[in-house]
A and B are shown apart, each in its own frame.
Chain A
Amino acid sequence: GQQLNQSPQSMFIQEGEDVSMNCTSSSIFNTWLWYKQDPGEGPVLLIALYKAGELTSNGRLTAQFGITRKDSFLNISASIPSDVGIYFCAGQLIQGAQKLVFGQGTRLTINP
């Protein structure tokens, strides 16, 4: 099946640092999504990208849809303790139902 390669797998940073993570795929997707998962919770959508080349921000978060449609990145600026969690990318092919393919996740740990 389709796979997304997400990196890095984990990050240990100091509070206030910027964070960058990315996803690549051998397949083309029509939509890229970034989710955050807190411990014991389900994923929550952070940013959705619908067009190749699109750059979208949501507060301190910025994400881009690669022009080849095979990759995406997420940046978090000036990290704060509540940014701790696991971040997932997901790609969607539009085939009638919203079937998402998820990356393996990036676990973010912040030292105060």
Chain B
Amino acid sequence: NAGVTQTPKFRILKIGQSMTLQCTQDMNHNYMYWYRQDPGMGLKLIYYSVGAGITDKGEVPNGYNVSRSTTEDFPLRLELAAPSQTSVYFCASSLSSIHEQFFGPGTRLTVL
């Protein structure tokens, strides 16, 4: 099993550009999550999903969108990139709400 994979590893965007951060898990987990980690800070939840077709907002959802058309994939979309979205983005998955979350390696995004 590859676990949780994220692409790309690094990306530089110009203000106003859009992009999709990809996340895939091969553990057949129902729950998936997107976090952002700003320098010197803990992770903050952007969006989460409890199963295919179901998504919900986390603590910091503004400026982002998600979809969950399959169990394996949970892409995060930035429509109009802003400098405040410069961060490291982590995707995670868990079998259920009481099971351990497994994290991907992260995507480092810079918006200039």
Contacts and interface: CB of A to CB of B under 8 A. Distances in A.
Interface in A1-20: 1, 4, 6, 9
B71 interface: no
Contact of A105 (B40, B50, B98, B106): B40
Size class of B's contact patch? 20 to 34
Interface string A27-64: 00000000000001111110010000000000000000
Interface stretch (B14-22, B77-85, B89-97): B89-97
A88 B43 contact: yes
A48 B31 CA distance: 18
Given A41-B106, A43-B43, A88-B42, A97 B31 contact: yes
Interface string A86-112: 001010001011111111110000000
Size class of A's contact patch? 20 to 34
Contacts of B43: 43, 88, 90, 100, 102
B34 to A, nearest CB: 12
A103 B56 CA distance: 22
Contacts of B50: 96-97
Contacts of A44: 103
A103 B44 CA distance: 10
B105 interface: yes
Nearest to B3: A42
Contact of A98 (B4, B31, B42, B103): B31
Given A97-B50, A99-B58, A45 B106 contact: no
Interface in B53-102: 56, 58-59, 90, 92, 94, 96-101
Interface of A: 1, 4, 6, 9, 40-45, 48, 88, 90, 94, 96-105
